Every structure is written in C-alpha cells, then in structure tokens.
Amino acid sequence: MPARALQGLHVNYITEGNGPPVILVHGVGGSLRHWDYLYPDLVSQKYEVYALDLLGHGESAKPINHHPGYHIDAIYAHLANWMSRLDLHTAPILIGHAMGAYLVLTYVLRNPGKVRGIVLVNPYFSPSQLSLPLRLPILQPQLSAKMLTLAPKWALSSAVSLTQRGGDLISKEVRERMVDDLKRSDPNVITFAKTTQDLTPHLKRIRTRTIVIWGENDPLFHPTHYAHLVNSVPNSVGCPIPGSHNPHLTNIRLFNNQVLKFLDQLSGGLNPTSPDPLISMNKPAPLLEPPNLPRADQAVT
C-alpha cells in the first residue's frame, strides 16, 4: 500500500506527561500495552511519552488489502506519518523492541539529525538473526497466518513461555496480555520479516546516541547479533541484562533503570532522581537540554 494511502488510517495511541518527547514502539504481535511498566516511570521522570499500536496491531487500522501479508514499508509509513503529525518542537527519543527497533533504526537512517537518542531492546535488524522457527512466516506466510488464526489461547500461551529461558519468569498477567495482543493482531502481520532488508551495511551511518539492551538468554535472536550491532553503530553502548526476549516485561526494575539513566545522560545528567549507573557505558558526548513541548491530540484518523 502506498504511503500516501496510509495517511488516513487510524492510529491508536496514548500520551501523557510534560518534557522531552519519548516514543515507544512495540514489536510484532504486540501493542502499546507492552510498555505498561516503562510508560509510567517515564512520565514520573518528566518526559512526554507516546505509545502507539502499529499498523495491524491492537486498536490501530488493519486494512483488508494487506492480505496475504504486511510489507515492512507500509508498517513504517504508518508510523512515520503519525510521527510527522505530532507537531513535536524538539527531536524525540525513540525506544523500540524487536521489530519496533527495526522501525526505529529505519527512521533514524531516513531522518538523520532528527532523533535525540534511541533505545533498542532485543532489536531485529537483519534476516540473518532469524532462527529456524522464525523463518516459517517467510517460507510459508499463508500457513503461518492461518496457524495464528486457528491457534487456541492455551497454545499461544505455551509458545510465549518458550521465549523465556535461564530462569526468566513471566507473570501470568503479562503472559495473558501477550496472548491477547497476538489474537488482536492481524494474523498476516507476522509475515513482515520476508519484506525486510539487512540493515547491517547502513549501521555505521548512524550518529545518534544509542543504547542496545538485551536479555542474555534470548532464544529468538542469538545475543551475539546484539554485540555486533553495538560494534557497528558509532556512539553506541551495549547493556546485556539477565532475561530473555522481553526484558522490559520480565526484568522490569533493572530494565527501567537502564533506560532512565541513559535518557538522563542525554539531558546532561541533570535529573537528580535518576537511577543507578548503567551496567555498561561508553564515553558520553555532550548534548543540549531540550525545551518543553506542547501536548498533541490523542487520536489520529
């Protein structure tokens, strides 16, 4: 679907707080509810926070003409069009998980100098990361979408549990939320990976301050890929923490602390309530303190 046609498609999102803008971008099969634990902490630390449902997810548009699959360019255009209508008066900080991180990287590459900082959580950035089970939607997109449609919630709950390793525990509440998000998503959206490209050759062009946070026991994307990403992006830092594919939902306190500390350093370390130092940090570059932003509307149609 052309980007122009996406401009009228509904974007479901929430926003709260006052201060430098932070935009939260979830992964495939998720929703803005994946940020339920980080969102309030950001608001309390004086950030203006936005979280959205991506195209085909949650309560955002699910266009029927995307059968049999979603192209990553359409998902990106839906996000970028929405961001352009927020009327932000200073560059935002972008936080993305998995596929959301791919979209964040794409935005930074296409809009150099327009993002203040980025947080990549267990990021997807290359098809080479995909394990054999994750290649099924590429090899058999229609079959994969049908399986997701027909799968009962108990089966999806078991699949969600398989994303956790090394003693990483996911609460019943979070597991049920993740399953609900999967069932609410357009089943064809899981085929997005077949339309992505390898961003590795372009990573060296990124000059934005970056932190990559990942669970040390991620069974979906091997952690060695994350270290390669850190080494490829100038002015970036790697921060492995105990956890699996969703550290923002399982190792909540440590994850939130690392994010808040990084954001505080982007503002020159002026926040007296910032958490403990980062687990791992490169020498920071000086940055300017942004002004406060006006509020934006909560609905885009």
What pLDDT is attached to residue 193?
82
What pLDDT is attached to residue 296?
32
The domain spans of the chain are: 3-300
Mean pLDDT of 294-300: 34
What pLDDT is attached to residue 131?
72
pLDDT bucket at 298, cuts 50 / 70 / 90: very low
Residue 211, pLDDT > 80, answer: yes
pLDDT bucket at 155, cuts 50 / 70 / 90: low
Residue 5, pLDDT > 50, answer: no
Average pLDDT, the chain: 81
What pLDDT is attached to residue 69?
60
* Per-range mean pLDDT, top range of 87-91, 93-97, 147-151, 282-286: 93-97
What pLDDT is attached to residue 187?
84
CATH class of 3-300: alpha beta
Residue 276, pLDDT > 90, answer: no
pLDDT bucket at 224, cuts 50 / 70 / 90: confident
Closest alpha carbon to 259 in 38, 75, 108, 83: 38
CA diameter of the chain: 53
pLDDT bucket at 153, cuts 50 / 70 / 90: low
Residue 281, pLDDT > 90, answer: no
Q: 63 or 282: which carries more pLDDT confidence? A: 63
pLDDT bucket at 215, cuts 50 / 70 / 90: very high
What pLDDT is attached to residue 100?
98
Tens-digit pLDDT profile for residues 105-139: 999 999 999 999 999 999 999 988 887 666 666 65
**Cα–Cα distance, 116 to 298 (Å, whole number):** 22
Spatial strand order in the sheet of 236-241: 236-241, 209-215, 117-121, 93-97, 21-25, 48-52, 11-16, 299-300
What pLDDT is attached to residue 109?
97
Tens-digit pLDDT profile for residues 52-68: 999 999 999 988 766 55
Give this prediction's pTM. 0.83
What secondary structure, in 3-state letters, does the chain show?
A: CCHHHHCCCCEEEEEECCCCEEEEECCCCCCHHHHCCHHHHHHHCCCEEEEECCCCCCCCCCCHHHCCCCCHHHHHHHHHHHHHCCCCCCCCEEEEECHHHHHHHHHHHHCCCCCCEEEEECCCCCHHHCCHHHHHHHHCHHHHHHHHHHCCHHHHHHHHHCCCCCCCCCCHHHHHHHHHHHHHCCHHHHHHHHHCCCCHHHHHHCCCEEEEEEECCCCCCCHHHHHHHHHHCCCEEEEEECCCCCHHHHCHHHHHHHHHHHHHHHCCCCCCCCCCCCCCCCCCCCCCCCCCCCCCCCEEC
Q: 268 or 220: which carries more pLDDT confidence? A: 220
* Per-range mean pLDDT, top range of 128-132, 190-194, 263-267, 273-277: 263-267
What proportion of the chain, given as a percentage, has pLDDT over 90? 53
Mean pLDDT of 229-252: 93
- Neighbouring residues of 196: CB distance < 8 A, sequence distance ≥ 6: 72, 102, 124, 127
CB 132 within 8 A of CB 157: no
**What does the block give as tokens for 57?**
């997810």
**What does the block give as tokens for 15?**
């926003």
What pLDDT is attached to residue 183?
85
What pLDDT is attached to residue 24?
98
